[in-house]
Each structure stands twice: as C-alpha cells, then as structure tokens.
Amino acid sequence: MKEIIKTVSSDKSETMRWGIERRMEFIEFLLYWEGRFNRKDITQYFGISTPQASADIRRYGELAPGNMLYDKSLKCYLVGDDFQLRMMTPDAEQYLSRLLENKKETTQLFYGQGIEFDTIPHFQRLVDHTILRKILAAIRNQHALEVEYQSLSKKNVKWRWITPHAFAYDQHRWHCRCYCHNSGLFKDFLLSRILFIKDNTKEHIINLEEDRAWQTWVDVKIGANPSFTKSQQRVIERDYGMKNGVMQVTVRLALLDYLLRQYRLNETLSSPEQQQIVLLNAQELEQIKKTIG
C-alpha cells in the first residue's frame, strides 16, 4: 500500500506519493551535504527515467524556491544562497553512517564525493550459515537443540541442550540468548562458538517471563570522569550530548555487562585520559542484578 503524505508547495497543499517524497528528500540531502547534484544522480540512484528526474527537480524547485540554482558551466544544480530545509532534518550521525556504507559499496554512491576517509578493519566473527538457519528454525518452532559448544572457560567442547529465543549483538559479536538445559539457567552463547548442531530436536516452549534478565530494562547513567578539570568535563559532556552532566541510556539487564565492557565502565584505569567517562549509578545497577539474579 502506497503511503500518502501531505506536503506544502509554493502555492497550495497537495498529496505526494512516498516514492516522490523520497526523491525530494534525496535532492535536499545532496544540496545540504554535498552542495550540488545533477539529473544523473537521481536517475541512477532511483532507476527512473530522465523525464521523471526533470519533473522531480521542477517539483522540488516549487516546494523550496531559492534552495538551488543551475550552473550551466558545471552542468549541475548548486545549493542556493537562500537555502532552507524543507524535506528533512539533518543528522550528522546518519551522514557519517552513509559514508561508511559508501566505502562498502562496489559502485560509487552520490554522497561523500571528494571527501577522503578510512576506517580501521572490522574483525568479523565467523558464523556458520547452517548453524544460524537451524537456530532461527528452533526459535520459530519453539524447539530445543543439541549443540556442540566450545566455551573458553572449559578446556574441552561440550554437548548441551539449549532452547534459543533471541539474538543479541554487542557491537563485536553475535550472541544467542537461550535456556540452557544443562545448567537450568538462561544464558548467552556466542554463535561463532557453536561448532555443530544435531538434527534431532524436541519441543520446548519457553516462558519468556522466566528470563528475567532479558525482560528487565535498566537505566545506565554515565558522566565525565570527575578527575578532569571543569573545562575538560564540559567538553566531554558536549561530546556525548549529556544533559546536566549525565547521559542516560536504557539497556536490557542481560546486555548490561557487554555495554560496560564496550566502554570500559567496569574498569579502574590509571588516568582519566584512558577512562574519560564513568558509571554514575554502579551501586544501583549492582543491586538490581542481585535482586533479579
């Protein structure tokens, strides 16, 4: 079903199909971030005809007069001196994420042109597709699986029955949230360390309310390291978008330790430069963990 939205042109209100709206946003995106675009950018990105792209450019000109001007020598549209946002809300994080996507693409996309950047390598953990497929089926069918798992806390691999019910990502690795029949507890298992899954399954319906750590959400309060000067603290607070010196994020209790490790909030480091942010409500969170179990 096509989504219909209301938009305002220079002289009247009209309905606009979702696809047209996307192209209007794309034009404005390029004007705002790149300062220019041409007709070919639109035809290639959306796979539309040249006449349709020309019609879209005219429509955008009506919606946002003064936002663009055509440069005959460059054969492209440039951002106008009176540019005003009409179709989107700028998001720096979104733009930088798109730059990252651009680097991954085999074909050139239409943002970040002329901007040099690079990233450090991402160490991908190997997940066997056949193992993932069996886990997905087990979650959908509410089945238990017999898996061969190598934990680094154990010297040898171990066979165990698990009933998976969710996945979790800690920015580095994928985990499977499961009920472990061997221990009688809900635990996380790294997908990359599940070595084999037998074809035999058995029905096991989980009461998800019993996975209290997964069902419980906690507020994590983070602040600038108090060892810094007030001026240094203020720049860290600005960096993280803190309000009144506090950044608050909400996370499942089951994923809390991953968050703390990711940002080294569970460590005591030798200098504030190494530990620029600190956990402000550690005792509160520890009490919740003890209560939930």
- Model pLDDT, residue 1: 26
The identity of residue 285, as a single letter, is: L
Are 169 and 175 in contact by the 8 Å Cβ rule? The answer is: yes
Report CA-CA distances (Å) from 99 to 21, 22, 91, 115, 241: 22, 19, 13, 9, 22
Sequence-distant (≥ 6) Cβ neighbours of residue 200 within 8 angstroms? 146
Residue-wise pLDDT tens digits, 198-223: 999 999 998 999 999 999 999 999 99
- Model pLDDT, residue 8: 38
First-to-final CA distance of the chain: 46
Report the candidate in 82, 73, 67, 62 with the shortest Cα–Cα distance to residue 20. 62
Low-confidence ranges of the chain (pLDDT < 70): 1-16, 103-114
Biggest alpha carbon–alpha carbon distance for the chain:
74
The identity of residue 242, as a single letter, is: M
- Model pLDDT, residue 5: 29
Are 253 and 288 in contact by the 8 Å Cβ rule? The answer is: yes
The domains located in the chain, with CATH, are 4-104 (1.10.10.10), 129-209 (2.30.30), 216-292 (no CATH)
Beta bridge partners of residue 250, listed in sequence order: 219
Residue-wise pLDDT tens digits, 2-34: 232 233 333 333 445 778 899 999 999 999 999
CA distance 163 to 161: 7
